[in-house]
Amino acid sequence: MSDNCIFCKIASGQIPSNKVYEDEHVIAFHDIHPVARVHFLIVPKKHVESLLTATPDDQAMLGQLLALAPKLAREQGLGEGFRTMINTGAKGGQSVFHLHLHVFGGGGKAETAMAAVMQ
Ligand code: AMP
Ligand code: ZN
């Protein structure tokens, strides 16, 4: 738990979230500013700032984030496909400095923006 970290506060229940999953190590909840019809975040309960500060000890947790993505995506109606994203560092577009995996899809702004970037 890190003071003044919004995702630590969500993980500990101090701040409410629109939860899609929770276990001992991980919480997943809908993004408050969705970029697609479905957009949720998978967040380790342990405060790790970003991929740049993750250590070999975090390997199992990192694996769990990715392994959960298809399970939760299917449950949220994205069984035909979805996007995943991890922004790392301010220069990598990260705005909340507690590691998280974005999972989104189903149409919306993100699809349009990504398609433009990849052309
Ligand atoms: P990033 O830019 O990769 O750090 O992503 C942070 C994401 O967290 C953004 O998509 C925000 O919309 C989302 N976010 C910030 N605060 C909350 C919150 N209280 N509940 C849900 N999502 C949040
Ligand atoms: Zn945190």
pTM: predicted TM-score of the whole model, two decimal places: 0.94
- Whole-angstrom Cα distance, residue 66 to residue 85? 10
Mean pLDDT, the chain, whole residue set? 94
Ion ligand 2 — residues with CB < 5 Å: 2, 5, 7-8, 47, 98
Residues touching ligand 1 (Cβ under 6 Å) are: 6, 17, 29, 31-33, 87, 93-96
Residue identified by tokens 């276990």 is 23
21 by Cβ neighbours in 10 Å (0-12 / 13-18 / 19+) ranks as middle
The residues facing 40 across adjacent strands are: 30, 103
Residue 48 pLDDT:
98
Cα angle 87, 18, 29; round to 5 = 30
Q: Is the pLDDT of residue 115 over 70?
A: no
Residue 43 has pLDDT above 70, yes or no: yes
> Ligand 1: which atom is nearest the Cα of residue 85?
3
Q: Do the Cβ atoms of 28 and 41 come closer than 8 Å?
A: yes
Catalytic residue status for 100: yes
Helices (H), 12-108: 59-75
Per residue in 20-32, pLDDT (tens digit) is 999 999 999 999 9
Secondary structure letter of residue 4 according to DSSP: T
